[in-house]
Every structure is written in C-alpha cells, then in structure tokens.
Amino acid sequence: MKIVFERPNTLTDAVTHYCPGCGHGVIHRLVAETIERLGVEDRVIAVPSIGCSGALGRYLAYDSVAGAHGRGPAIATGIKRALPDAVVFSYQGDGDLASIGAAEILHAANRGEQITVIYVNNAVYGMTGGQMAPTTLLGQVTSTSPFGREISTTGWPMRVAELLATLPGVKYSARVCVFDAANVIKAGAAIRKAFEVQLKGLGFGIVEVLSQCPTNWRMAPRVSVKWAEEHMVREYPLGEFKTPEGDSQCNTR
C-alpha cells in the first residue's frame, strides 16, 4: 500500500485536548508541514498566547515562549530582533489578537517586523466561556450577547486581514479557512507564503484562518462547519489581500 500521508516529525503524538470539530488541530498540522518543507525546524521559535491557542507547545515540538494575553507580536518582535536568524511566529486567537492585543498587532505590522502571525478566527472567545469577540458576527448569540451582536452597541465585526493589508510594513496578508479538504490545501499554501516572506526578509506576514468552534457555538461539529461556510465566509471573504508583489485586493464595506 502506498503511503500518501505521514504525521510531520515536529507534530507531537500527544492526545488532543481540543473539542470535537475544532479547527486548531488541522492548523497545527499545516504549520508543522510548512516548517518541515521549508527545512527550518531547527530555527523556529513559536509564541503561543493566552486562550485555546496557548496549548500550541503541547503539539508542536519547537522552542516556544508563552506570551501574556495579546502580547504575542511584541514578544515575537523582541525574539526576532535579538535572534535575526530565527524563524519566529506567533499563534493567536481572535479575542487575543483583535481585542486586548489590537495595539500590539497594529504596531508590529506597521513597523514591518520580520515575523509571521497565524491568526485563528472562530468569532468567539473560546477558552473562557464563549463571550463575544471583536470578530463575532452581527446577530450571533454568545454568552455576553444573548440577543445577538448589534451594531449600535458593539460595532461591526473586525476584518483584521483587510485592515493590516493597508499598512506598508505588511507584505503578505491572507484569509483562508479549514472547513473542507480543498480549503485546507489552500490554507497550507498561504501559510507557506507567509513564512517565505519572513525568510526572504521582506517584512510582516499574517494568515487569518477561519475556524469552527462547535462547543461555544453550541452546535454539533458537522453543523458548525456548515454554519461557518454559510455565515463566516460571507462576513470574512477568503483570499489574498496583499502579496509581496504589492497587489492589494482589500474589500471595503
């Protein structure tokens, strides 16, 4: 029998603690595959932050520095400046990056720091009980928006990939999803491009990955995938918003 897939060497065989249907495990595998294909395993330093993303060190066998909530980009900046030959990436959720860490990500991106950011957007705070996040959809019910998110009180869902694409220091900004096999392949390609931007010394790269959160959405895993396809992608269009060639395809409301 022909072997068509093997577990990446830097992806540990730890039993997952993630909820059934969560997308984090798929994203971990894509990061591990990318780093191995680029041949930079011995140079990687990961910066997981607070939230579900904070468990990264359990599953990826790289040196890592745990960051305070939202401070991943600042820590990654310090590591990269001290060790310029290291391949540094932060791994953050939407509550972490787009809320308490909004200033950190904006300024790191604006400075064009030579780091890569993997940003997981599941439209809700995951680990702390399903509260509304900056990326929660309009009308979406959460533990802190029991009647659904309203524009009049909390504004619009935040489109981070488009926002950062407007900054000159950002050389790659894309949004992908992991809802099906075809999109998983596209997500892997985008993650590789973001790391290549760092390896070439071009500037800041970010990949926003739409992911499902069945537990906090209070849905069965299969239902959550369908819901995400029907609702999240409508609010958060997929694609590349900025590439090293300078092409910007940012959408505006």
Residues 105-132 have pLDDT tens digits of 999 999 999 999 999 999 998 777 778 8
Distance CA 112, CA 77 (A): 10
The confidence score (pLDDT) of residue 81 equals: 97
Instruction: Answer yes or no: is pLDDT of 185 > 70.
Output: yes
Please, what's the b/e burial string for 25-34 (b: 16 or more CB within 10 A of its CB; e: otherwise)? bbbbbbbbbb
Tokens 């993303």 -> residue: 53
Residue 75 CA to chain centroid, in angstroms?
17
Place of tokens 């890569």: 116
The pLDDT of residue 1 is 83
* Other beta carbons less than 10 A from residue 251's beta carbon: 12
pLDDT given at position 253:
35
Global model pTM greater than 0.85: yes
All domains of the chain in start order, with CATH: 24-242 (3.40.50.970)
Q: What Å distances lie between residue 48 and 14, 106, 145, 223, 224, CA to CA? A: 17, 18, 27, 29, 25
Of the pLDDT bands very low, low, confident and very high (cuts 50, 70, 90), residue 248 is: very low
> d(Cα 204, Cα 171) in Å, to the nearest integer?
6
List the single range of 4-13, 124-133, 176-185, 231-240 with lowest mean pLDDT: 124-133
